[in-house]
Structure 1
Amino acid sequence: MKRIFKLRSELVFSAAISAIIAIIFAIILKEFILGSFLNNSKNTTEYVHDDVIAAIEYQLKNMNINDSNKVQKYMDKENSMLYLISIVHKDGKVIASNNKEIKSIDANEVVDGKKTFKFLNDNRKNLVKITRCDYLKDGCYLYYIYVGYGKLENENIVGIMTGIIFIIIFFLIIWKRISYISEIKSTVRSIAKGNLYERVPLKYKNELRELSEDINYMTSEMEKEDKKRSEFLTNISHDLRTPLTTILGYINMIKNGKYVSKDELNSYVDIMNKKSLYLKNILDDFFQYSKLSSKDIVLEKQKIELNELARQIVQEEEDEFIKNNLTLSINLMQEFIYIYVDPNLFLRAVNNLLSNALKYSKHNTSVEFNISKEKYNNKFYAIISASNIPEEPITDDEIENFFERLYKKDLSRQKEGSGLGLSIVKDIIKLHSGFVKTYKENNRLFFKIYMDIKF
């Protein structure tokens, strides 16, 4: 038994895998970015220097650096919580600073061009400390400390990159399924245009496979219906053309006086009448089937007693069976049994069963017409059955096809009929919430109509 995975579960699993991979990549990417940022501080240090310090450095170079009061006044204007800016001598003594509490700097830090960069031990990983010392003029140096954020907001970048990586990996994982859905859509469109030979390839083991199987099943059924439709048109052409040709032929013979006696003329008329009745029966079947297929038929139901109905049917049909060397026997129940049906439609269904038995029964045998009551699936039903001995052997496959539209056992079509009779029986009984069963028992073929009993 094949195991079916739910598509929803597959998508959740794919999302989970994508998230795990994205997180791993994000961690690597984060370490790469931060590591690069730590090992090569040029971008951030130059950004800090160019953004603030360069302008201060320019102003100081154009001032008398030895005028400490003037320089201090200028430095007081550069008060900032992010920058500690000092002018120092080589020995570390502070000449002026934007923080007056700073009196000296470690002389080891006073080196032209010296730079330091590090991340602070903070939950915000992109908080940095930058120190830098540049020679100013007249033996003085510009020394500053910057504590703040670097030029790159790494956490935001990592978060964005994580999302992008997740989306890319997720779509890579499910892309084949998305493509498969597109393939299903394309195949369905092709089928809708009439290419009934098309089939959706079966992939995966989820609802998409089940959907594809259902589409293929539907297409197979449509293909069968299309074949039946073609056969239907061929059958109509044959069934109508043959008797019409016969009728027209005899009309032409009568019109041209090609008969030698009145008896011969009457025989022509009898043949024409028989063929006309055959045409009428075929057209009645076509009309009835079309009406039943329209699904808007209105049933005029009445309560009828089955034993009485069976007697009337046998009285009307018995002579026809005798003419065909058949015996029509009837077996009734001792008790009254009622059903609730549309009399005309139900009578048509029963007559079609008997007509089928009349056409296909072996000569000099009996057709049994029975009314009974039978328990099926823990429920009692009224049973109308007709059984006969077929003139030709019947296979189980043929029994399965009896109630299919346009089915004829006699493929040579030597038997007259539209091929709709038993299909009409099935549709009429279905409209009355009943069902039909057929089976072989010994050498007899049984057709049974199951109807709800009306109390």
Structure 2
Amino acid sequence: MKRIFKLRSELAFSAVFSVIISLVLAVFLREFVLGSFLNSYNGTPEYIYKNMIAPVEQDLKNMDMNNSGKLQKYMDREYSMTYFIFVVRKDGGVIASNNREIKSIDNDQIENGKRTFKFLNAHRDNLVKITRCDYLKDGYYLYYIYTGYGKLDNSNIVGVMAILIFIIVFFTLIWKRISYISKIKSTVRSIAEGDLSERVPLKYKNELRELSEDINYMASRIEGEEKNRNEFLTNISHDLRTPLTTILGYIDMIKNGKYDSKRELEDYIDIMNKKGLYLKSMLDDFFEYSKLSSKDIILERQCLELNELARQVAEEEEDEFIRKGLKLSLKLPQESIGIKADPNLFLRAVNNLLSNALKYSKDGTIVEFNVSREKYNDSFYSVVSVSNVPETPVGDEDIENFFERLYKGDLSRKKEGSGLGLSIVREIVKHHGGFVKACRENEKLVFKIFMDVKC
């Protein structure tokens, strides 16, 4: 069996993978692609100090602070238009600088570690002024002023890039699944609009595949129901038209006096009566099935003794079987078997099984009508069974479809009936919490009602 990965696990994996990729790419872009661009503004205090002032400060610490000429010569070499560097005393007097026009610094600025930072305009477009003072040695301090465009504030750039990359990578990974969900949606809409041949292509190995399989199964069932409905309309039209045509034909003959004797007239009326009763029987079946198919049917349950019920039914039906050249054999257990069921509905189910055997049994054979207790799937049930030898061999497909609505074998089309008899049996038994089964035992066809509701 192929392993099915859960969709949420796939999404979690995609999210974790996207986080890792986004962080790696964000750092890479920051360091190797955007680094020179981000640092090109020569800005923030730490950048200025680290890249411009720290080397000078280190050199000055290694020089003689009392040799002002040497200090000034060094400062001249480090001159720059964007920053001014001063070696000052504690009182602010300048000993050496790269700007000889400034002779002193406010002594309140001369304090080890003192720093200032401010924007030079209201819009704060990175034009800044930075000052810093650090102690050198021997009572001397290094003081510098930077005026210019500061480095962009990129402390959050890595995070922003990581989020953007995460979104791109994550949606790239799950985009096919999102598209697949859209395909499922459009297929369901097509099915709902009547295109029952539409199917969802099967992809992946997660809940989306299971959903697609269920949708396809639903579509197949609906398509089958639609086919059955169309067959029903065709069959019912045929089944109703034939006796109705016969009745109308005889009515026309009677109206036009096309009979030679009273006896012939009575024969016509008798035929019309039989066809009328057949039509009534069919309509009763349709009404009964419609009623049983509704979910709000109310059962009037009573305790029924199956042995007694079977005896009464057999006595009532025995003559009918004899007239058809069949024998009805009744077999009952010694023990009393009781169930709780709606008497009228359950009797209808039993009569339908016997009626089915009466119509389709081979001449001169025995129809067995039995009551018993049987074990099925580790549970014991009260069972009513009817078995007969059919006129023609029954295939496996027939057995599977016997209880489907309006199913009729080819031969049975020649028989009068609505095709709902066994479907009604199934619906009645289902409402009682039981089930029905059909099977072959040698040459016999066996129908069984299993009931587990006891008195």
Q: Which residue pairs with 1:434 in the alignment?
A: 434
Q: Distance between the aligned counterparts of 1:298 and 1:208, measured in 2?
A: 39
- Going from structure 1 to structure 2, the CA distance change for 1:373 and 1:91 (only over 3 Å counts) comes to closer
Aligned residue for 2:354, secondary structure, equals helix
- Computed over aligned residues only, the root mean square deviation of the Cα atoms, in angstroms, reads 2.9
Q: Distance between the aligned counterparts of 2:162 and 2:264, measured in 1?
A: 100
How far apart are residue 331 of structure 1 and its match?
Answer: 1.2
How far apart are residue 262 of structure 1 and its match?
Answer: 2.1
Aligned residue for 1:381, secondary structure, equals strand
1:160-191 CA distances to partner (integer Å, 9 max, x unpaired)?
11111111111111111111111111111111
How far apart are residue 417 of structure 1 and its match?
Answer: 0.7
Q: Which residue pairs with 1:59 in the alignment?
A: none
Written as runs of structure 1 = structure 2, the 5 A alignment for 1:126-205 is 144-146=144-146, 150-205=150-205
How far apart are residue 96 of structure 1 and its match?
Answer: 2.4
Identity, % of aligned positions: 68
Q: Which residue pairs with 1:26 in the alignment?
A: 26
TM-score normalised to structure 2 length: 0.79
Aligned residue for 1:199, secondary structure, equals coil
The answer as to whether partners of 2:85 and 2:98 remain within 8 angstroms in 1 is no
How far apart are residue 42 of structure 1 and its match?
Answer: 5.3
Q: Distance between the aligned counterparts of 2:281 and 2:338, measured in 1?
A: 30
Q: Distance between the aligned counterparts of 1:365 and 1:165, measured in 2?
A: 81
- Going from structure 1 to structure 2, the CA distance change for 1:433 and 1:101 (only over 3 Å counts) comes to closer
The answer as to whether partners of 1:385 and 1:449 remain within 8 angstroms in 2 is yes
Q: Distance between the aligned counterparts of 2:38 and 2:189, measured in 1?
A: 55
- Going from structure 1 to structure 2, the CA distance change for 1:131 and 1:336 (only over 3 Å counts) comes to closer
Q: Distance between the aligned counterparts of 1:308 and 1:362, measured in 2?
A: 28
Q: Distance between the aligned counterparts of 1:201 and 1:346, measured in 2?
A: 45
Q: Which residue pairs with 1:224 in the alignment?
A: 224
How far apart are residue 84 of structure 1 and its match?
Answer: 7.5
The answer as to whether partners of 1:203 and 1:209 remain within 8 angstroms in 2 is yes
Q: Does 1:389 align with 2:389?
A: yes
Q: Distance between the aligned counterparts of 1:296 and 1:398, measured in 2?
A: 31
Aligned residue for 2:339, secondary structure, equals strand
Match of 2:103 among 88, 95, 98: 95
What is the identity, as a one-letter code, of the residue corresponding to 1:338? G
- Going from structure 1 to structure 2, the CA distance change for 1:230 and 1:34 (only over 3 Å counts) comes to same
- Going from structure 1 to structure 2, the CA distance change for 1:339 and 1:129 (only over 3 Å counts) comes to same
The answer as to whether partners of 1:353 and 1:386 remain within 8 angstroms in 2 is yes
Q: Distance between the aligned counterparts of 2:99 and 2:209, measured in 1?
A: 82
Q: Distance between the aligned counterparts of 1:370 and 1:252, measured in 2?
A: 48
Q: Distance between the aligned counterparts of 2:109 and 2:358, measured in 1?
A: 124
The answer as to whether partners of 1:85 and 1:98 remain within 8 angstroms in 2 is no
Q: Which residue pairs with 1:279 in the alignment?
A: 279
- Going from structure 1 to structure 2, the CA distance change for 1:29 and 1:361 (only over 3 Å counts) comes to same
How far apart are residue 323 of structure 1 and its match?
Answer: 1.5
Structure 1 unaligned segments of length 5 or more: list them. 49-82, 103-127, 133-142
The answer as to whether partners of 2:41 and 2:151 remain within 8 angstroms in 1 is no
Q: Which residue pairs with 1:303 in the alignment?
A: 303
1:203-246 CA distances to partner (integer Å, 9 max, x unpaired)?
11111111111101100000000111111111111111110000
What is the identity, as a one-letter code, of the residue corresponding to 2:197? Y
How far apart are residue 410 of structure 1 and its match?
Answer: 2.5
Q: Distance between the aligned counterparts of 1:385 and 1:101, measured in 2?
A: 110
The answer as to whether partners of 1:33 and 1:154 remain within 8 angstroms in 2 is no
1:391-421 CA distances to partner (integer Å, 9 max, x unpaired)?
0001111111100110001367211111100
How far apart are residue 3 of structure 1 and its match?
Answer: 2.0
Q: Distance between the aligned counterparts of 2:300 and 2:447, measured in 1?
A: 25
Q: Which residue pairs with 2:399 in the alignment?
A: 399
How far apart are residue 35 of structure 1 and its match?
Answer: 3.7
The answer as to whether partners of 1:337 and 1:453 remain within 8 angstroms in 2 is no
Q: Which residue pairs with 1:79 in the alignment?
A: none
Aligned residue for 1:97, secondary structure, equals coil
| Range moving further from structure 2, 432-441 or 280-289 | 432-441
Q: Which residue pairs with 2:13 in the alignment?
A: 13
How far apart are residue 263 of structure 1 and its match?
Answer: 2.1
How far apart are residue 311 of structure 1 and its match?
Answer: 1.4
The answer as to whether partners of 1:330 and 1:370 remain within 8 angstroms in 2 is yes
How far apart are residue 36 of structure 1 and its match?
Answer: 3.7
| Range moving further from structure 2, 367-376 or 404-413 | 404-413
The answer as to whether partners of 2:326 and 2:367 remain within 8 angstroms in 1 is yes
Q: Distance between the aligned counterparts of 2:165 and 2:311, measured in 1?
A: 83
Structure 2 unaligned segments of length 5 or more: list them. 49-82, 87-93, 111-127, 133-142
- Going from structure 1 to structure 2, the CA distance change for 1:205 and 1:91 (only over 3 Å counts) comes to closer
How far apart are residue 380 of structure 1 and its match?
Answer: 2.3
1:13-51 CA distances to partner (integer Å, 9 max, x unpaired)?
11111111111111112213334444x345779xx9xxx
